[in-house]
Amino acid sequence: MSLAGKAPTPGGDVTASKSASNAAPTSPSTPPPPPTVSQYIGNYLKQPVTSSFIAGGVAGAVSRTVVSPLERLKILFQVQGPGNVSYQGVGPALAKMWKEEGWRGFMRGNGTNCVRIVPYSAVQFSSYTIYKKALTPESGEMDTLRRLLAGALAGVTSVIATYPLDIVRTRLSVQSASFEVLGKPTDKLPGMWKSMMDMYRTEGGIVAWYRGLIPTLAGVAPYVGINFATYEAMRKFVTPEGEENPSAIGKLLAGGMSGAVAQTVTYPMDVLRRRFQVNTMSGLGYQYKSIWDAVRIITKAEGIRGMYKGLIPNLLKVAPSIGTSFLSYEITRDMLSGFVSGI
């Protein structure tokens, strides 16, 4: 038998296989490239807390600037004591502000207010997102009580974080007003940071920055809770059947209704907050020792109406303010989502 006719031996097959394996070694897998800067930003903005924080800040600035004249007028009504008729009626009071201070009078304290409201609103919306997620049951359905609690906790968090700016904003709004007991201001008024430092030096240090915090928390916690809970309920109500989201008008309407309900229920605590914030200002004559002492004095001297001073201009500003806030929030959040999707 010739060699060509022999069958190959098993040993020869193994040798050939080893040779082939040595000739074509398997290359290790290539690691994925690191994310680019734009991808990193996109991943960061995808986080619900991040997007709600940014959108909340924008919503706060837009909503408060829109209603700045009415916001200042509300504060002037709130701190105006019995027998003081310097500012009477919404229309005449706005005309008085315009005549004596011009456009700057309408915007007095708004810069400070925006410096305060941007972080305040950002913290409020983002913390509501956090608390809402933590309180959501396994079923995934939030009931009204849980929404109220999440909103209340968000309100407390945002107030504590930004309260010093709120009390300074109140002082700036009052300082340029021509109350009869104070007289018309003649000197150049201090700015935000100087006012904060003056309070720190002359009114007891850091304690001065948090004067009125307790009545503020007592009013803000239920206010924010009612606001968020009512908005989500109204949002579902105004959403057309078969649609996921309401129209822009529907969002404005839901926000306006939620703000009006929440503000009316909690307004007396807002009056107490303002009175305590100017409690040590000379000329206004307020020297309250506690919340109940303030309630007793106000109701005795001004009646129950004293606890609702400034409610009308406040309700006139609440509808556009809260409506614009929620609308701006959702628009900004949706824009961020679209921006991330395009990266």
Convert the pLDDT of each residue in 105-148 to its tens digit.
777 777 777 877 899 999 999 999 999 999 999 888 888 999 99
Rounded to 5°, the CA angle 68-282-198 comes to: 70
Q: Which residue has the higher pLDDT, 174 or 316?
A: 316
Q: Does residue 23 fall inside a structural domain? A: no
pLDDT digits (tens, 9 = 90+) for 35-59: 777 777 777 777 889 999 999 999 9
Q: Does residue 261 fall inside a structural domain? A: yes
Across residues 312-333, what is the average pLDDT? 88
pLDDT for res 81: 67
Average pLDDT, the chain: 80
pLDDT for res 284: 57
Q: Does residue 80 fall inside a structural domain? A: yes
Containing structural domain, residue 311 = 44-342
241 has pLDDT over 60:
yes
Number of domains in the chain: 1
> What secondary structure letter does DSSP report for 282?
T
191 has pLDDT over 80:
no
Q: Does residue 69 fall inside a structural domain? A: yes
* 58 contacts 122 by C-beta, under 8 angstroms: no
- Highest mean pLDDT out of 26-30, 135-139, 285-289: 135-139
Task: Give the integer Cα–Cα distance in Å for 59 and 66.
Answer: 11
Q: Which residue has the higher pLDDT, 169 or 315?
A: 315
* 179 contacts 156 by C-beta, under 8 angstroms: no
* Burial class of 320 by CB neighbour count within 10 A (0 to 12, 13 to 18, 19+): middle
pLDDT for res 203: 84
pLDDT for res 205: 87
Task: Give the integer Cα–Cα distance in Å for 153 and 318.
Answer: 21
pLDDT for res 343: 58
309 has pLDDT over 60:
yes
Q: Does residue 272 fall inside a structural domain? A: yes
245 has pLDDT over 50:
yes
pLDDT for res 215: 80
Rounded to 5°, the CA angle 301-305-311 comes to: 135
Token reading at 143 = 């009931």
pLDDT for res 26: 53
pLDDT classification of 244: cutoffs 50, 70, 90: confident
Q: In the chain, what percentage of residues exceed pLDDT 90?
A: 27
84 has pLDDT over 90:
no
pLDDT for res 2: 42
pLDDT for res 282: 52
Across residues 248-266, what is the average pLDDT? 92
DSSP string, 14-81: HHHHHHHHHHSPPPPPPPPPPPPHHHHHHHHHHSHHHHHHHHHHHHHHHHHHHTHHHHHHHHHHHH--
Quick count: other Cβ atoms within 10 Å of Cβ 20?
Answer: 9
Sign of the CA dihedral with 252 first, then 61, 79, and 100 last = negative
* Least confident among 127-131, 246-250, 308-312: 308-312
Task: Give the integer Cα–Cα distance in Å for 40 and 35.
Answer: 6
pLDDT for res 185: 56
Q: Does residue 286 fall inside a structural domain? A: yes
Residue 123 is part of a domain; what is its CATH number?
1.50.40.10
Token reading at 307 = 């606890």
Q: Does residue 89 fall inside a structural domain? A: yes
* Least confident among 79-88, 275-284, 295-304: 275-284
25 has pLDDT over 80:
no
Q: Does residue 111 fall inside a structural domain? A: yes
pTM of full prediction above 0.95? no
**Please, where are the H alpha helices in the chain?**
10-23, 37-46, 48-66, 68-79, 90-107, 110-135, 144-175, 192-202, 206-209, 213-238, 248-277, 291-302, 311-342
Q: Which residue has the higher pLDDT, 180 or 292?
A: 292
